[in-house]
Every structure is written in C-alpha cells, then in structure tokens.
Chains A and B, each alone.
Chain A
C-alpha cells in the first residue's frame, strides 16, 4: 500500500519532469526538471524495493543499492550540465 502510493507519486513526477524538460526554455529549469524526472524514476524503483521487502529487510536491498548508484550518477550529470550552462553564459558575455 505504502509502496503503491509512492510508486504513483513517482509516476506523476516522471510526467511532470518530462513536461518541464520539454516545455521550459531556461536551461537551468530544464536541469531542475531533469532532476524531478530522476526523482520520479528513483521513487518507482523505491516502491519496487519496498514491495520486495522480506527476509527480515524493510526493503529489497538490490534496488536500494541501484538507487544509491543512480543518485550519484544523476548528481554527476547535474554538475556537468550546470558547468556547461555557466560556461555558455560566460561565453555569451565575451561575444
């Protein structure tokens, strides 16, 4: 039950994030929308982890480890995107 609620929240966040990435034109807001989308995907995975609770664990550890790895990779992606964006903005000043 809890799992389903958060799984549905994840589904809504993926839709919202995708909408933001495609519709907002400011690059920083697109990056934020990408993070919303990523959060939604991780929540779906988290709901699946919760559903797989058992053997004395509150949640299936395998998807949990996958989410941890995913959060770090998504953070790395965000930093690269922000660095690219700031460089682009600085470059616009030069021109």
Chain B
C-alpha cells in the first residue's frame, strides 16, 4: 500500500516538474507576452496541481491536506487576477495588429 502511494507521489511530482519545465521553456522561448502568459499559467498550474496531488497521500492529517489544496487554490486565484492584468498591460503597450 505504502509502495503504491510512494509510486503515485513520485509519478505525480515528476510529471508536475515536467510541466513546470515546459512552462519555463515557454516563458523563455515564446515570442510575445500573450503566448508566454499562456505557457506560464496553463503549464505551471497543471504542474503545481500535480505536485499537490502527489503530496496529498503524504499529508500528515486532514489539516495538512487542506492546506496543500488551499495553496493550489490561492495560486490559481492569484494568477487568475495577475494574468489578465499583465495581458492588458501588454496589449496597451503594443496593440495586436
């Protein structure tokens, strides 16, 4: 059972790191702000979600699991607000043709 849980954690966290890496690559390589934001928000949220999911079985108690989920939720909320803000600034600076 614990072996299964460990395997689940390893799989999810490694997959999450993969998404983070992809998101970072996108941030560095994509040409314009819009696509960069896409890469950053989409891939990183999935990555963070996978890491949180992977860590859930290892949480100490219900409180720990709740806090892990809260972290994910708060990050989602924060970037749901900052993503559009950044996009708006980018649009104002160089409007799409």
In the complex, A touching B (Cβ < 8 A): no
